[in-house]
Chain A
Amino acid sequence: MRTCYAFADRCRHWIEAADDARLTVGFRRNKQNTDIEAIKGDFADALIDFAMRRHIENQTAVIRNLIVAAALAEAGAPPPRQN
Chain B
Amino acid sequence: MSAPRFAPASDYARSQSTGYRLLPFRFTRIPGIENVLAVNEVGEFLFIEPADFIAFVGGGLSPAHPAYADLQSKHFLVEGEPTTAVRLLAAKYRTRKSFLRGGPALHVFVVTLRCDHSCRYCQVSRRPAADTGFDMGDETADRAIDLMFQSPAPALTVEFQGGEPLLAFPQIKRITEAAAARAGAEGRAITFTMTTTLHQITDEILAFFQRHDFQLSTSLDGPAALHDANRPLPGRDSHARTVAAINRIRAALGSYRISALTTLSRASLDRPEAIIDEYVRLGFPSVFMRPLSPFGFAVRADQRIGYTTAAFLDFYRRALNYILDLNRRGIRIGEAYAGYLLAHILTPFPTGYADLRSPAGAGLGAWVYNYDGGVYASDEGRMLAEMGDDAFRLGSVNDKAADLLQSPAMQLLLASGVAEALPGCSDCAFLPYCGADPVFNMALESDPIGHRAVNAHCAKHMGLFNILFAKLAEADPFTLRVFLSWALQRPLEPDDEATL
A18 close to chain B: CB less than 8 A: no
Q: Is the CB of B151 within 8 A of A75?
A: no
Known: A67-B89, A68-B93, A72-B94. A80 touches B401 (CB 8 A): yes
B-contacting residues, A43-83, CB 8 Å: 49-50, 52-53, 55-57, 59-64, 66-68, 70-72, 74-75, 77-83
- Asked if A67 and B86 sit within 8 Å, CB to CB, the answer is yes
Contact B41–A67 (Cβ < 8 Å)? yes
Q: How far is the CA of A70 from the CA of B89 in the complex (A)?
A: 9
- Mark each residue of chain A from 1 to 33: 1 if its CB lies under 8 Å from any CB of chain B, else 0: 010011111000000000000000000000000
Most chain B CB within 10 A, of A59, A74, A77, is at A59
Chain B residue contacts of A64, Cβ below 8 A: 24, 41
- Of the listed residues A55, A80, A82, the one surrounded by the most CB atoms of chain B closer than 10 A to its CB is A80
B25 proximal to A (CB < 8 A): yes
Which chain A residues border B15 with CB–CB below 8 Å? 59
CB <8 Å contact, A8 and B453: yes
Contact A62–B41 (Cβ < 8 Å): no
CB <8 Å contact, B151 and A56: no
A39 to B57, CA, bound (A): 26
- Contact, CB under 8 Å: A9 / B401: no
Min CB gap B191→A, angstroms: 19
A82 contacts B23, CB within 8 Å? Answer: no
Q: Which among A5, A50, A55, A60 is the interface contact of B24 at CB below 8 angstroms?
A: A60
Q: Would you call B150 and A53 a contact (CB within 8 A)?
A: no
Identify B22's interface contact among A56, A72, A83, CB under 8 A: A56
Count of interface residues, chain B, beta-carbon cutoff 8 Å: 44
**Complex CA–CA separation, A81 to B146 (angstroms):** 10
In the complex the two chains form, what is the Cα distance from A50 to B426 in whole Å? Answer: 12
CB contact under 8 A between A5 and B452, given known A67-B41, A70-B86, A77-B152 = yes
A6 / chain B contacts, CB cutoff of 8 Å: 424, 452-453
Known: A53-B427, A62-B7, A81-B152. A5 touches B453 (CB 8 A): yes
Output the least CB separation between B324 and chain A (Å). Answer: 31
Contacts of A2 in B (CB 8 A): 427
Q: List the B residue with the shortest CB-CB distance to A48.
A: B54
Query: CA A56 – CA B27 in complex, angstroms?
Result: 10
Minimum distance in angstroms from B77 CB to a CB of chain A: 10
Residues in A neighbouring B97, C-beta threshold 8 A:
71-72, 75
Which A residues are CB-close (under 8 A) to B150? 80-83
B65 interface residue per 8 A CB criterion: no
* Closest Cβ–Cβ distance, residue A13 to chain B (whole Å): 11
Q: Does B102 interact with chain A (Cβ within 8 Å)?
A: yes
Asked whether B451 lies within 8 Å of A71 as measured between CB atoms, the reply is: no
| CB of B470 closer than 8 Å to a CB of A | no
How far is B29's CA from A60's CA once the two chains are assembled, in angstroms?
Answer: 21
Per the 8 Å Cβ criterion, residues 64-90 of B in contact with A are 82, 86-87, 89-90
Is A63 a contact partner of B23 (Cβ separation < 8 A)?
yes
In addition to A62-B11, A63-B23, A83-B150, 5 A-B residue pairs with Cβ atoms within 8 Å of each other are: A52-B27, A63-B82, A64-B24, A80-B405, A81-B401
The 8 tightest CB contacts between A and B, nearest first, are A70-B90, A8-B453, A71-B93, A60-B24, A64-B24, A71-B94, A9-B453, A78-B152
